[in-house]
Structure 1
């Protein structure tokens, strides 16, 4: 219950308010009364109140002077002044002292009720915010870092549901992840070296853990986290792209040196593009993943920075295209297609020395495993065992045909070990199911990861086949569906509020919705709505 101090030189008014206020708002108690400002200050010196309701004209000390003194108190109670029609000038001056409301005499119950409701709402909100703030302060640094890691991981996998929960929490924790510019860097074990060292596949998670722990010792806590493949990801911030790349290379060099000295294993780093908004870090991550493929071309133990003009980019794009063809052939159980695609893949290697073959072989295995989340560790282990058959006691490089036969055997091993949820589905069926999911759930938080999990494939694989089949990314398709539905709602109900339309088509922020709508229809939703209303009247 909130406490009030009533200050008025008329005893009749004091008695009336003391009796009436609890009746019109049970959440309030007139805890104290005073006949002038001086007496009110004496009470305030001994008792805390939430609201002062004071007359302006009083003997000894008037209400205006009282409000002026109260405005300097901390914490400062809310104040409401009572004034006659001829005292409006005084009322305006009182407002400069932080007075929240004023009421005209004689007091009207309904007006008093409305004022108390407004102040109650403000106090409730303030109390809630204070409680939240105190709760945030209680959180340990470990808890805060856990929130940051989960948020960053949600961003790179495009998990809108988690972002919706965690992003406001970062604001309450007063965590600013990017001040000016930032990017993501991937640190990844060179698994071909692990294979060459005959380290059991089951031990790889141990080395991945060591990699993250060493990176966390070097980089600020909370900025280091895992992606879905348990690569170590680092958020790096700075003033410009050159500064970011310099920082990333320095981090990679320190971590790589520490890892090599303790384990004898090398790591590769890949630096994504520079962004100025934390919610755009998924773009930086995707480009870092693409750039990580440079280690196929030039070997590991290096740090590769993304650039559209990179000399490696044409080869990376060709490798990507060929891998998609292999995945498509496997999904369709089309042996001719995946055999031809594997031959093309082998021709892109440029040489058949064992380190090169291992790099490409490990990438082939990882890419195949990624297209089906049900592909087991045992399947990967079996595929790597097949790859190691290429080792020769004489250390001679295998021939092209030996490599091809080995890769064919790996693919057959994949078919044997994979247990897909939908054996008879091809790319067309999967894309159709993804589109059906979008049509049914466009009003909800949707991410590529959610759709992929629903239909039983990996997010990266779904992204590739969706773009190939529909000729646009899933996010563009989802946006188009949402905009078409929004336009339909605005046409059907020209009087509907824009904020309600925004919510019905899956947007948390009406500002964001309006921006996207304007880009799509070349006019704001309000203008579109007005034109539809005018057309109906005409």
Structure 2
């Protein structure tokens, strides 16, 4: 029989549930009903029921707050939430609190009975599983390899006291190890040409294959091996009295691992070798130094064996990069100079490598560059979605494992931004020239029209406008304006009986003689001859 309590500030609901349900028939003992969450919480702490049925909206403490307390302190208690609020956010919060059911009022007695039967069935099944000691023992045996890995990970990551270490070594049947101790860490760089990343089981197979080579090469009586939660491969090597002999042995083993994985699996690993230590309790120092030296992959590249002894004497200098590096790069991007931008990127990366900058310093510099590139991108893309898409693309800088990869990625980003800026400028210029043409064709009759007026209208400098207008139309401003005016004059000569001086005035020329000269220059005939010719052709 499972204990249950009801929590609802509506007395009619509590009375209805108490009197219409035969709780014992469904395998529950109703031990109390409460009008608010505060009273219910006191009952939960005192009686530890297996099931709580609660409303959401109540005084003093609502149902979700009660559910939060129960979920945090008594996660084995099942919760059923009853509510009149058909709100998605309530359902979401209930799911986060691991509520068994989230049910909308009103609910019938029949629905409650069905719900109770289902919950009891689930609880019976859980009880059965927990009481099946044989099955639990079998599960324990299956879990021992994983438990052993987690113990070894704790041993190197946080450190343990000698008594617990001895107890756990005996429990897991681990061979005793003796000083000196040293930790090496191997991390897969990537899967090279084995492009199987879209299939998780293939990735896991490759990781398993790498660890198998790792074990084959390193598994001796004095080496303990495991994989971390981050999928790194770790070895605790011991048993050498001389530090130099220990490092010589470890470096040889690490180089064999690196070579065999590259040869047989066709992808690479980088291996970091930490400091040696005299006591097993000091293994975290060795482990942390191995992880630290592994970070130098970012500067030195992949597929290497790196030792803390090689790196600790090469303490990095303070960053001495050009303080205006990011500003100069943005300037090159805005001016469209791919060559200058690439040269700046190469110089910056070379400087970071030369001074052996720590990985944090490298990413700080890249972060400055990324933030600086945000400005031209935001100026370029007025569309918010496009701008956000580019910003997300720039955040990819943090996914790379080496500075060489960052350099290649940054060059590609810069090339794309410069190309997009050029396309955008070309589009904008085309729009401005289109507006200029419209302006000319609308205002050609204004004899005072000037290049300055037109440039003010389209918001361009006269020199730049003159350049791009000729590129787009094949004519200068004056040539194009004259062409428009003469074309309009031809229409008037053909379709009206206006005098020549009137036509000249309507197409923007106050001087009829000057109009005649331009007309003949453009058409090869005078206005008079042109009209007569058109009349003859019309009469024919």
Q: What is the TM-score with the length of structure 1 in the denominator? A: 0.33
For the pair shown, which has the larger CA radius of gyration, 1 or 2?
A: 2
